[in-house]
Amino acid sequence: MAALNNPIRTDFALALNAIAGDRKIEPTVVLSAIEEAIVAAYRKDHPDPSEEVILLGQIDPLTGEAKIYEMDGEKKTDITPAGFGRIAAQTAKQVILQKVREAEKSAIISEFTQKIDTIITGMIVRFDGKNVILDIGRGQGFMPPEEQMRGEFYRMNNRLTVYIKEIRETLRGQTIIVSRSAKELVVKLFEREVPEVASQAVEIKAIAREGGIRTKLAVFSTHSGVDPVGSCVGQKGIRVQEVIKELNNEKIDILPYSEDPKVFIASALAPAESLNIEIDEERKSAVVTAPDDQLSLAIGRGGQNVRLAAKLTGYKITIKSLSGQQATVATGEEEYEIDQIGLSKDTRDLLVEKTWTTFEALRDHLEEIKTMGGVSEESIVKIENALSFLPVRKQDVSV
């Protein structure tokens, strides 16, 4: 490629420099791409079966004139066919447009790389299968199913606040991944709504979330005289209500953080009260004995309360009744509600394949599960034991 000297005054050079300057692309990069492209265009019209001939494309940076040379060592022979200028011009146009698109995408990716771990408001512009695509300013945010909130319905032109999670390499190239299910979204919303959190006078020490359903967060004051829970709730609940509204009425429990695991676990299991907690700090596990009237509160609907408490505290929590009967175990690593029962892998996989992953689903299909091949008697006993702690439904009561 010929050297590019400044200043360049020809129409071609001025146009090249203008495009390169506007898009922040080096003119030499554009010229090199055009030269490679015109060689490819030449080979397409003049195929060489042996593919042994070495060709060189050159663009005059002043005039834009295109030449094709056949190389033989240091010797080069001009083999530019008549009328090749038209082909070269079309090729140059395509290359420049491609480079402009690449530069624009690179600039957008660079901009949003700086915005990772922040929140932004976007508008739904289209759907790609189960994926939701949002307009988030200069770029488009891609929200795959695993980043969507459970129970939330998405419609065209809906405006959503999302968390910019990462730039991910996909089949579409570099893609901006946004999330509605990430626990960081809740943290950022509290930073926006609560000045004490933004200034770090109140610190969110731990958070556990099942997106679209419920979040528990533990807060701690770094300044004396600042009430961490009250700061996050706000006068008449106005601050936490703003967050709840952004999360489509997701339930949010705010509790004080404690270094004492007994106190922390007791707070995390609220609204259950009068709990007896035994801690094994070495194994990071806790056995919680609950009065009969507090048992279902400690466990929560579908085991949700104890599951979130385990995630929040980092402790494996076993809940027992006063009679000593084990009600449930939560490690904080459960993917599905049924993971709390301790089923064999084969039984668990069968139920997941059937999409019976909640306690309610197990109750609805219990008779069918009992007759399924591959489900052991031990697993059925565990399932029946877990279901015995669910609240009785009206339709299950005989009149």
CB crowding 135-163: b at 16 or more within 10 Å, else e: ebeebbbbbbeebbbeebeeeeeeebbbb
Residue 64 has pLDDT above 70, yes or no: yes
CATH node for 186-257? 3.30.300.20
Q: What is the residue extent of each domain of the chain?
A: 11-110, 119-181, 186-257, 259-334, 341-396
DSSP state of 160: E
Q: What are phi and psi of 294, to 5 degrees?
A: -110, -5
**Helix residue spans in the chain (DSSP H):** 11-23, 27-45, 84-113, 183-193, 195-198, 228-233, 238-246, 261-268, 292-299, 304-313, 345-353, 359-364, 366-371, 377-387
CATH H superfamily, domain 259-334: K homology (KH) domain (3.30.300.20)
Domain 11-110 classified CATH 3.40.640.10? no
DSSP state of 286: E
User: Comparing 186-257 with 259-334, is the CATH topology the same?
Assistant: yes
Cis peptide before 271 (omega within 30 of 0): yes
- Poorest-confidence range of 105-109, 120-124, 146-150? 105-109
Q: How far apart are CA 90 and CA 189, in angstroms?
A: 50
> What is the structure's pLDDT at 260?
96
**Spatial CA neighbour of 186 closest among 138, 127, 227, 246:** 246
Task: Report the pLDDT averaged over residues 76-86.
Answer: 83
Confirm whether pTM is higher than 0.85.
no
pLDDT in tens, 373-384: 888 888 888 888
Q: How far apart are CA 80 and CA 61, in angstroms?
A: 17
Q: Which residue has the higher pLDDT, 186 or 345?
A: 186
CB atoms within 10 A of CB 117: 13
pLDDT in tens, 227-286: 999 999 999 999 999 999 999 999 999 999 999 999 999 999 999 998 999 999 999 999
Angle among Cα 264, 330, 358 to the nearest 5 degrees reads 130
Cβ pair 316, 331 in contact under 8 A: yes
Q: How far apart are CA 383 and CA 377, in angstroms?
A: 10
**Six token digits for residue 301:** 């609907």
Q: Write out the CATH class of domain 119-181.
A: mainly beta
